[in-house]
Each structure stands twice: as structure tokens, then as C-alpha cells.
Chains A and B, each alone.
Chain A
């Protein structure tokens, strides 16, 4: 009996603490996209740091904005968003600056993803707010059986040789950016005076394409059924993989004008409860297992290694907010409806 007593005493002291420990267990709250924090990988992080990770998935930018701003960023510790959205959140004061030096694995990243001043949207007043995580560029997919030479330029989309065999994307913003690129202009800053000629360029594109697609599956079936030669891959490598899986003999190029690309980054919310834990997550995300899962499971690119067989990875143009999204949309609707030039803009 005397032997048991110390045990009982220690139990009596420890037991009341146990629930307290459980309740005090920290939770890291992520707001991310499908595929960015798969359960098996999250579990590794939880075990390593002895914390719980709550992942909230979003499907589009609008939902992400809604959720993050709901409680002034207080509901989440970390978010994953593209550079244009990060820019918006910095403007709104929903993020807090971070120090890349405290995240050891940033040294594993390719140089162009550490060259923060040159990545648009993620810095302000010399402070960095986000760490690049994954990206996809919008290259050109071409049918190797129809094109002996890979297309070098965006201008190929307008090539009359491919009339009726080109697929372009149905999206106002990208369409105008593409036209601006082809014309040698800044894709995100189109001057008012340039709009008429870019509109005409897009009408010309319309007359050259088979059609404009919206979903990757749609593009794949059109590609198959209509002997498409050239495709503007709005969904990037994901579409390349899809077409190759279908057995198409296709190639992928980054045109010499550069390819539009979105870049998703991790950023720490203003309401983050534990800065060190949030940094630990970003560090974890930059380890090979997490970053490779992006490539292997999602068909995306990571920031640690260059994608295989791709020339021109240095010609990526990170998406930025455009000068006037509404104007682009208004004009694009009319172009898409089949209006004939010239398009008079009513003020």
C-alpha cells in the first residue's frame, strides 16, 4: 500500500491537468486550395510539432476573400493565394510581413522564387508578405502530328494556316493580356488608346479559332474531335497531362513573348496566433515531400525544381491586377457575341 501511494498522489496531481493539456493543444488554421494540404502530409506536420492542423479548402478567389476578411483575418493563421490576391490582401491590411530568413527551406527554392522584389504583389515598403509555393503557366499546346516545328510565338494563334484549328480561352482578362503580349504591350496595363486595336486583334483571333473553351475537359474533347492544331493552355500543364493521357501526341511551349502564370504563395494572416508555428508550416511546405506532391498529384509546378523538359521557365509573367477588368469584360462579351468591327465603345 505504501508503494502505491506516491503513484496515486502523482495521478491526483496530473489528472486535473490532462484536460487542460488537450484544450491547450494548439491548432494551426489553414485556408488553402484543394491539393495544397493533403491529409497524409498534414498528419506528418501534426506529429512533428504536436499540434492540430485545421484545413479549410476554398474553390475560388471570391470565397477566399470572403473567409479571410470575415473576422479581419482572425479566423485563420495561414492562407494560400495567388500574387494578385496577395496584393489585394496587403492593401486591405489582412496580412503581416514575414522574414524569409526565418524559414530555412526558402534556401531550397529556385532563385527566381526568392528574388522577392521582382515577384509582383508580394512586397510592400520593402517588407515581404508571402512565400511562393506553387505555380502554373499558360503555355501553348500543339499537335506534333500537324506542326513539325513548335510554335515560337503567341502570334501563331492568329496564323491563318491554322484557321478553325485553334482553341483559345474564354476569359476577358487573359484574352486582352494575350493580345497585348502579341502586340508587344504590357499585358496588365493597356492604355485606353490601345483598346480599339487590341479589340480588333481579338476579333481577328475569333475569326481564326475553332472556338473559345472554358473547362479543360471541354478543351480536351474539342481537341480530339476537331483536329485542333494549337491550344492556348489556360490551365497549363494540367491540360498537357490530360491530353497526353488521352493519347494525343502534343508538345508544350512557352512562347517567346513569355507565358502568363499564376503564382500561389503562403502568407500569414494578421490574426495568426503563433507566428513561429505558421513559419514552421511554410518551412514544411517547402520540403520535398509536400512540394513534390504538387507535381505528382496535381500536375502543378513547385518552387524547388524546374519542370522537366521546359525551355523558357524564365519567361513567366506573374499575373497582376489589370488596369480595368470591367472594360475588358464588357468588350470581350461583345467580341464573343460575334459583333463585327469596328466596335464603338459607348461611354
Chain B
């Protein structure tokens, strides 16, 4: 009984409740976490695609500017016009136009018209230098024939645009553009005969361009950009960009392994990838943007990343709420378990108590018999069993009492028999000795009963004996004992005598009653008796002597002619 059924049941119910709410909580948490992650990934991918479109839009705008400027240069017959005032004038006008463009577009670092001849000598060049725009002196113009943005552009058809690989601009004298990640947007310039005679090149500062593009994005989005080999061009950690410029290549696919699939140029154009860092993971979306079809730099990879922790902040809030709900429902489950186990064990307890009390004291206690469940049934069964047991016990007791009565009483008259009389006499003698109060033993013997029996029959004899018994009882006190010793012999024990003379009164009263005829079965019968008395302590102080003395006194009365009584002390013979 160390752990009762209530405790065990409570534990079981509570454990089940807690488990059920815990499991439910966990599943709802993990599924909503997945949903949130998926939604975040979708958002990220959409944002990346939008950023890609904006990037392309930005590049297209630069390309349009380049085409307009190239057409102006062509209209002014630059750069093939011979030296002279006319040419200087045209170049000045073009420089003004470059300046105007650069004022409108802060991301333009440099605009140049470069000739195909003279080893790619620059013809007109405007640089950004801080807040100023500088027209470069003729003497400081440089030869650019060995740069791909020139020699590849010169091989294009008029109206075509070339986008360069993005590199760090290392061309000395580039002013603000020096050391900046740069995209060269270039287009060929043709002469009247349609021959390519030069190129128009706009240098775009990638950082500024992305600063503009990024301004619409949430601040926790990190931008990644790589060229077609995966070399990092834009990275949250500036030190990791343009590694190839310092002789060590750092690849985006080393951080986001999945991007390798985009670089290989399969069917995919976008994907989601993850990067585990020491403290937190990054989830990122990447798109492949085609920029230069037919060129080795035919695409770039654009990516947006955000810390997984940022996405999961939402889910951790959700998680906390779910934990609260789980805790509350667990407490509720615990409370319900306690109540339920009580409700079950309380009736069991009361039945147990009832059984124990019944076993101990044969007394019934209230049982939960009005319940409509198994416990009610048990209680009802038990109550029924109790009743049956009690009924049988009562019957047994009655029978025992009857038997006992039979053993101690004369069946004919209902008077106590000889055995009872001797017990009472013994008892009376003991108390008489203590209280020193006398007692009397009175023998009554019917006269001529044998003749009466013979003449009127046993039936009438029995009636007579019953009538005598009634007579003797009616003439004595309740506390006195009237017993039938056998045949027609009766004895009366009179206790607690204050005065032995009282016995005389009793004798007298009895004698008188015997003088009256009795009506027995319509027979008028005259029954008389001889009576003898012995007194304690006058005639003896034990049963034997008292009985002998009473017997002698009775015989003395018989000898004296019957129908009388003898009170005197008898001489022992």
C-alpha cells in the first residue's frame, strides 16, 4: 500500500495528459516552424528575383545611356575626325554630355570615348573625383587596347552592348573609380561607312549601384554576387570579395555548396541554399542572371541571405507560446488526474471502510449504492450480502436463544427447571452471605396429584400443572424464582428478605389460593398443596442443607395432614 491505486492511477492519467499535450505541442511547433521557414524561403527567393530584375533594369538603363552617347559621338563623326578646331569642339560637346550623364547617375565613375587606333588611345574621358567631375587632359589620356572592354567591344556589331566581368579597377589615374568594383558597359562606335572605329565605355561602380538596389530591402538581408566562376564580388564580409584580385580565389560555392549547380549551367535558374556558420546558419536564395549571351561571362549569380535565427525568431516566439500552452494543459491534465483518481478511489475507500467495520462490528455504514456504474454495482452487491449475513445471523441467534430457553425451562409450564434453580440458588446464597440478608427456599408438593391424573387424564393433569405454575408466579414477586423440579414438585426461591416473617405471608397467601377450586377444561378441580420452608441462615448455609431442610419441612406438612405448610425449623434426623 506504499503507492495506492489513487497515486498510480493519478500518475498514469497525468503522464498520459502531459505526454499527449507535449506531443501535440511538438508536432504543431515543428510543422509551423517548417511552414514559416518555407514562407521565409519563398519571400527570400521572390526578393532575390525582384532584385535581379531591378539589377537588370539598372544595367539596361546604363546600356541605353551608352547607346545614346555612342550615337552622339557617331553623329559628330568622332573619333575619326581629323585634328582641328572642329574636332575639339565636338569633343568638348561630348565631354559636356558625359558630365551631364554622370551628374544624373552617381554610380557612373567614368565615361570614355576610346578610339580603335593608336593602341586604343582614349579620346574623350570624364572621371568622377569625389564631388567633382574631371575632363582629363589630352596628355594624360591612356592606351587601352589590351583591355577586354575595348578589344572585345571593337569586335561587336553596331548597337550591341558588352558587359564586362566585374573587376576591381586598377587603372591608375581613374580618380574616384580607382580600387572600386567596376562594371564596364561598352558599345562600339562606327564611322559613316559602318566600320567600327572606337568604343564608348561607361564605368559603373557596383557598390553604389547595389546601394541603390538594396535600399528597398529589409536591413537584415545580405547581398551576394558572384561571377560565372563563383568568385565573390559582393559579400557581407568585404574582405572576402575580389579574392582573385589578391591572388587567392574565394568562391561562393565554398560557402553555399548548392550554388555549384547554378554555376554548372543546368536547367535551374534559382535555388535555396544554406550555410552553417559557427553561431548561426544562413538561408539564402540565389538566381542566375544572364547578362551577356555568347560571351564567356554570360551570367552572374545574385543571392540574398538572411540569418536563419532571424527566420527562427518568429518560430521561437511560437515555440514559447506552445510551451506555455503545453505547460498549462499539463497542469490541467494533472489536476484532472487528481480529481479523477479521487472520484474513483473515494467510493472504493468508503466500501473498504464499510467492509472493515462490518467485519469488526457487524454494523453497516452508508455505501455508494446510488451510483450507476460498476462501483455502484459493487456497493449494491455488498449491501445485499451484508443484509443476507445479518438476516442469517439474526435467525441463528433466535435459534440459539430458543435452544437455550429449552435447556433451562420446563417445557410444560415455562418455569425455570431444576438446573436454573440451582444456579440461581447458588448465586442467591453468595449474595445473601455478602449482604447478610436471609433467603428462603419453599418446597411445594401437590396433594393427591397422582389420583387426579389418573381420574381426569394426563391432559387435564398437564393443564393443572400449568395452572399451578401460574398460581405460584402470581403469588410471588418478580424477583423471586419459581421453578418446577419435576412431577408435581415446585420450588420457590425468595431472596432479599428483610424479615423472615415475610415468608409466612407468602405461605399464607399461597395456602389461601390453593383453597379455591380451579377451572380446567370445563372441569372444576380442587388442587391442594403441602409446603415446607427452609431459611438461610437459620436452617443451613449451603444448598444441600437448605434443600434438605425444606424437603423435611414439606414432609412434615404432609405428615401433618396435607394441605398445610410448615415454617418451623426441623430437627435434623
Interfacial residues, chain A to chain B (CB-CB below 8 A): 59-60, 164, 206-207, 209-212, 214-215, 217, 221, 225-226, 333-334, 336-340
Contact = CB atoms under 8 A, between A and B. Distances in A.
B151 A210 contact: yes
A336 B170 contact: yes
A221 B170 CA distance: 22
A339 B244 CA distance: 24
B147 A60 contact: no
B174 to A, nearest CB: 8
Contacts of A212: 146
Contacts of B85: none
A19 to B, nearest CB: 32
A215 B249 CA distance: 10
Nearest to B139: A340
Given A207-B119, A210-B151, A217-B229, A337 B170 contact: yes
Nearest to A168: B146
A144 B229 CA distance: 29
A148 B245 CA distance: 36
Interface in B475-490: none
B120 A338 contact: yes
Interface string B109-149: 00000000001111000000000000000000011111110
A223 B296 CA distance: 12
B172 interface: yes
Given A210-B151, A211-B148, A217-B229, A338 B244 contact: no
A183 B119 CA distance: 23
Given A207-B119, A210-B151, A338 B248 contact: no
A337 B142 CA distance: 7
A305 B229 CA distance: 35
A114 to B, nearest CB: 32
A323 B512 CA distance: 174
Contacts of A214: 244
A15 to B, nearest CB: 39
Contacts of A215: 244, 249
A152 B529 CA distance: 181
B171 A337 contact: yes
A336 B143 CA distance: 9
Q: Which 8 pairs, one residue from A and one from B, show the smallest C-beta to C-beta distance?
A: A338-B142, A337-B172, A338-B143, A337-B171, A211-B146, A207-B119, A221-B296, A338-B144
Nearest to B114: A338
Chain B interface SS verdict (over half): loop
Contacts of A210: 146, 151
A173 to B, nearest CB: 12
A225 B295 CA distance: 9
Contacts of B194: none
A334 B121 CA distance: 15
B196 to A, nearest CB: 14
A340 B296 CA distance: 30
A211 B147 contact: yes
A225 B155 CA distance: 12
B136 to A, nearest CB: 12
A221 B227 CA distance: 15
Contacts of A206: 119, 143, 146
Contacts of A337: 142, 170-174
9 contacts: A60-B247, A164-B145, A210-B146, A210-B151, A211-B146, A336-B171, A337-B174, A339-B173, A340-B121
Contact of B143 (A207, A211, A217): A207
Given A207-B145, A338-B142, A164 B170 contact: no
A164 B154 CA distance: 13
B154 to A, nearest CB: 10
Given A217-B229, A338-B142, A164 B296 contact: no
B565 to A, nearest CB: 112
A206 B147 CA distance: 10
A333 B172 contact: yes
Given A336-B146, A339-B143, 18 more contacts: A59-B248, A60-B248, A206-B119, A206-B146, A207-B143, A334-B172, A336-B170, A337-B170, A337-B171, A337-B173, A338-B122, A338-B142, A338-B143, A338-B146, A338-B171, A339-B142, A339-B172, A340-B142
Nearest to A203: B143
Contacts of B143: 206-207, 338-340
